[in-house]
Amino acid sequence: MSAPSSSSLSIRDLHASIGDKPILKGLTLDIPKGEVHAIMGKNGAGKSTLAKIMAGHPDYTVTSGDVLLDGESILGIEPDVRARLGLFLAFQYPMEIPGVTIANFIRAALQARLPEGEELEATDYYAKLYSKMDALSVPRNFTSRSVNEGFSGGEKKRCEILQMAMLEPSYAVLDETDSGLDIDALKIVSAGVNALRGPNIGMLVITHYQRLLDYIVPDKVHVMSEGRIIHSGDKDLALKLEAEGYDWVEKEYSAGKSAV
Amino acid sequence: MTTETKPDIDIDRSVGDFRYEMDYAFDAGIGLNEATIDYISDVKGDPDWVREFRKEGYRKFLEKPMPTHWATKDLENIVFENIRYYLSQGQVPKRTWDEVPDDIKKTFERLGIPEQERKFLAGVEAQFDSEAAYSNIKAAVGEQGVIFVGSTEGLKEHPEIFKKWFGKVIPSGDNKFSALNSAVFSGGSFIYVPPGVKVKHPLQAYFRINAQNFGQFERTLIIADEGAELTYMEGCTAPKFETATLHSAVVELVAMKGAKIQYITVQNWSSNVFNLVTKRGIAHEDAEVKWIDCNIGSRLTMKYPGVVMKGKGARGEVVSIALAGDGQHQDTGAKMIHAADNTTSNIISKSISLGSGRSTYRGMVHVPKHLKGCKNNTECDALLINSHSRTDTYPAISVRGQGNAVQHEASVSQISAEQIFYMQQRGLSEAAAMSLAVNGFVNDLVQQFPMEYSVELKRLIDLEMEGSVG
Ligand SMILES: Nc1ncnc2c1ncn2[C@@H]1O[C@H](COP(=O)(O)OP(=O)(O)OP(=O)(O)O)[C@@H](O)[C@H]1O
Ligand SMILES: [Mg+2]
């Protein structure tokens, strides 16, 4: 195993379970800053679980292994602390927060990143918020709507990326951000994500569809199955998976294992 | 004593939780009997009719049972013999803060009252234990004929208006606690707004309990004459004591034809206070009485602001927010009595229960058979934060006759762990996430508050949530 780079989001032989049920079974993955990696895999492979465990969801128990953010373990740290360290998760199913407007929500999140006693500058904040909203074609009247309440599936996903754009994380995990998006929205959201790409951010994009990876071109593609990464390749792997399905990867993997 | 070596104040997380040592010139002692009432009447120099009114109230207090048959048995823990019923320094309310004795003034300065007065109020009355220490109205408002004084001064200086309405909206025998208040009342406001005068800025009263084992029994009477308009706000705090403290006020509002009264309460009692308050308004023809009631803190609050819609076209409204923290019980609601045609009432109640906190909504809407064109809308929403908190709704709606409409909606919701996780993932601490969700829940009601008070309310909710998480 190669040593994790100090400038990466690094998952080392991670085992995790919910209750007695193991879900991650020795998962290793390294996402260096500046790169975009994609994870593909069947329903129930554990992709969302991996995302939530990295973010610190309290329902899951890590039984062994580690998650390192820029070389420091983040296991055992509160979810909000991880977020403020620069980890962002775009949820597969974003939650509704009744009565809390998008504007106030993002503002509170930014305020939480400032030192005690320092106030977010309101005019700068709104200027930035509006420009990001415009870029993602989120109508301006959304600022006064409650977070995700009554949003269509696509609107929810767009607002996840809006939050990401505002919070400027150093590592972002995008869990099926493309599902539920129409073709135009897919282009807009992908453009939004691409605009955030750069040397200061590492991204992990979870998707079922090769199509997304036409827009957000990944540096690496990984296949996840039963709580492990069973195969990795470049962007062409996604094309092959789209054409041939997952069976051949799984076969290769179990053949490789039995050969050892 | 070793007090010199210690700081003279004890600060906790909550703004109201501090206390300065006081010497009281007038102290009715511990416990309640006829002599206590005479003592209070003597100190206050009551006219005979007031002394008689007090004694009558005392008799009714002794007669009336505790309302434990429908409310909580916790009421039985009030030991009336252990309470001090009157404490003052013999002060006459001052018209400038400079004249207020330093030891009292520093309390109100710390609570920010003089500053608020300068910024956005038309007048302020500040009560310390039994008596007002300060009472002042802006000159421009006074010149319009608006009267804003303490109840003691009101009954002495303006008997022709005072006597006409005092005890008429809420008879002393309404319930055990209104009877108790009638017996020992002291402090509170008397307000009269002459016909057609619209007071632009709010008048504010602040009620501060400073003494331990004490009962505060203020009495407020507000009359808005024909076409007059007024907003009155009250705030209340007490430091934390080991022993129970009693706050039992009576508030009577009279809105004459076409008048509007808006009465806003933001209470932040410490968790040892029994807060048992009777509030009711009469709305004459086309008049409007609106109660905006925010109950945070206290051990037990029982409060059901009411409106008697006496004249045609009158409107009554109760908007209430109750937050029951760990170990607290907020038993609140509204009473709407329709007594004329085409009267409209609206009740919106939101409660939040935290930990072992308990919220109860009790509503009473009464429309008698002979009336036409009456409407009531009742909405009560409860938010539970963690599984052992509890909420109950007891709407009692009696609507008879044709052509009257009622609408009732109730909901119970929870803040889910997934919602909290979602917010935490954005960088908010668990407490901040809870606060935000709770503020979101009451947001539409908070919008109805004057800005300064909505900021205060948000701050109080944040403090409660900080204390309840982690
Ligand atoms: N809270 C939970 N309780 C019980 N089982 C769970 C829980 N969370 C996840 N699982 C199980 O863990 C497995 C992995 O779920 P996960 O949501 O991570 O899959 P996924 O790869 O994201 O699937 P999809 O592509 O459908 O989104 C599934 O079998 C799921 O049922
Ligand atoms: Mg998933």
Provide the domain limits for residue A238: 8-92+149-259
- Digit-coded pLDDT (tens) for A24-67: 999 999 999 999 999 999 999 999 999 999 999 999 999 999 99
What are A's interface residues with B at a Cβ cutoff of 8 A?
Answer: 55-59, 78-80, 83-84, 88-89, 91, 94-100, 104-106, 108-109, 112-113, 146, 163, 167
> pLDDT tens for residues B162-215?
999 999 999 999 999 999 999 999 999 999 999 999 999 999 999 888 888 899
Query: Per-residue DSSP letters for A148-181?
Result: TTT--HHHHHHHHHHHHHHH--SEEEEESTTTT-
B441 contacts A109? CB cut-off 8 A: no
Give the span between the Cα atoms of A36 and A34, in whole angstroms.
7
Q: Looking at residue B14, what is its pLDDT?
A: 60
For the Cβ of A93 lying below 6 angstroms from any atom of ligand 1, the answer is: no
- Flag whether A144 is in a domain: no
Q: What is the CATH number of the domain that holds A46?
A: 3.40.50.300
What number does the ligand 1 atom closest to the CA of A60 have? 1
Q: With an 8 Å Cβ cutoff, are A100 and B439 in contact?
A: yes
A160 part of a folded domain = yes
CA distance B255 to B248: 23
- B45 has a chain A CB within 8 A of its CB: no
Q: What is the pLDDT of residue B116?
A: 86
Rounded Cα distance, B303 and B235, in Å: 15
| Predicted local distance difference test score (pLDDT) of residue B67 | 84
What phi, psi does B256 have (nearest 5°)? -75, 180
**Distance of alpha carbon A21 from alpha carbon A107, whole angstroms:** 38
| Residues B64, B66, B67, B68, CA torsion sign | negative
Structure tokens at B46: 């009551």
Q: Whose CA is nearest to atom 7 of ligand 1?
A: A18
pLDDT at A82: 98
Closest-CA residue to A82 (of A94, A73, A90): A73
Distance of alpha carbon B205 from alpha carbon B249, whole angstroms? 13
User: How many domains does chain A divide into?
Assistant: 1
Confidence bin at B24 (pLDDT 50/70/90): confident
User: Model pTM?
Assistant: 0.85
Q: Assign 3-state DSSP to chain B and report helix, strand, coil percentages, each to 5.
A: 30, 35, 35
Q: Tens digit of pLDDT for each residue in A188-241? A: 999 999 999 999 999 999 999 989 999 999 999 999 999 999 999 999 998 998
Prediction ipTM score: 0.96
Select, from the ranges B50-59, B83-92, B133-142, the one with the highest average predicted confidence (pLDDT): B50-59
B232 Cβ contact partners less than 8 Å away, ≥ 6 residues apart: B189, B191, B202, B203, B204, B205, B222, B261, B262, B263, B264
Is A192 inside a domain boundary? yes
Render pLDDT for B394-437 as a digit per residue (tens, 0 to 9): 877 777 777 788 888 888 888 989 999 999 999 999 989 999 99
Indicate if ligand 1 lies below 6 Å from the C-beta of A2: no
Backbone CA torsion sign across B117, B118, B119, B121: positive
Q: How far is the CA of A57 from the centre of ligand 1 (A)?
A: 13
Please indicate, yes or no, if residue A139 is contained in any of the structural domains. Answer: no
pLDDT of residue B107: 86
Domain-located, residue A23: yes
Mean of all residue pLDDT scores within chain A: 93
Q: How far apart are the first and last CA of chain A?
A: 16
- Per residue in B305-349, pLDDT (tens digit) is 999 999 999 999 999 999 998 889 999 999 999 999 999 999 999
Q: Kindly state whether residue A201 falls inside one of the protein's structural domains.
A: yes
Span A87-110, mean pLDDT? 96
Q: Average of pLDDT values for B75-80?
A: 91
The residue ranges of every structural domain in chain B are 26-421, 422-470
Structural tokens at position A117: 């006693």
- Does the Cβ of A18 fall within 6 Å of ligand 1? yes
> Is residue A230 in a domain?
yes
Q: Residue A232: what pLDDT?
A: 95
Identify the pLDDT of residue B11: 35
Q: What are the distances in angstroms from CA B45 to CA B34, B90, B156?
A: 16, 12, 9
Q: Is A79–B437 a contact, with Cβ atoms under 8 angstroms apart? A: no
Is the pLDDT assigned to residue B59 strictly greater than 60? yes
Task: Tell me what the mean pLDDT of segment B31-49 comes to.
Answer: 94
Q: Are the beta carbons of B208 and B238 closer than 8 angstroms?
A: yes
pLDDT score recorded for residue B2: 33
DSSP conformational letter for B340: S
Give the Å distance between the CA of A63 and the centre of ligand 2. Answer: 21
Yes or no: say if B456 and B266 are a contact pair by the CB < 8 Å rule.
Answer: yes
Is there a contact between B78 and B244 (Cβ–Cβ < 8 Å)? yes
The amino acid present at B198, given as its one-letter code, is K
Q: For B7-20, what is the mean pLDDT?
A: 55
Looking at residue A258, its pLDDT comes to: 66
Picking from B233, B248, B224, the residue whose alpha carbon sits closest to that of residue B294 is B233
Predicted confidence band of residue A1 (pLDDT cuts 50, 70, 90): very low
Distance to chain B for A113, nearest Cα, Å: 7
Chain B residues touching residue A94 (CB < 8 angstroms)? 422
Domain assignment present for residue A116? The answer is no
Region A104-131 average pLDDT: 94
* Residue pLDDT, tens place only, A133-180: 999 989 999 999 999 999 999 999 999 999 999 999 999 999 999 988
Looking at residue B1, its pLDDT comes to 33
pLDDT of residue B20 exceeding 80, the answer is no
pLDDT at residue B5 tops 60: no
CB environment A237-254: b (16+ within 10 A), e (fewer): bbeebeeeebeebbeebe
Higher pLDDT, B403 or A16: A16
Contacts of B307 (CB under 8 A, 6+ apart): B280, B281, B282, B283, B289, B291, B314, B316, B317, B318, B335, B336, B337, B345
The mean per-residue pLDDT over the stretch B62-75 comes to 85
CB-CB neighbours of B80 under 10 Å: 12
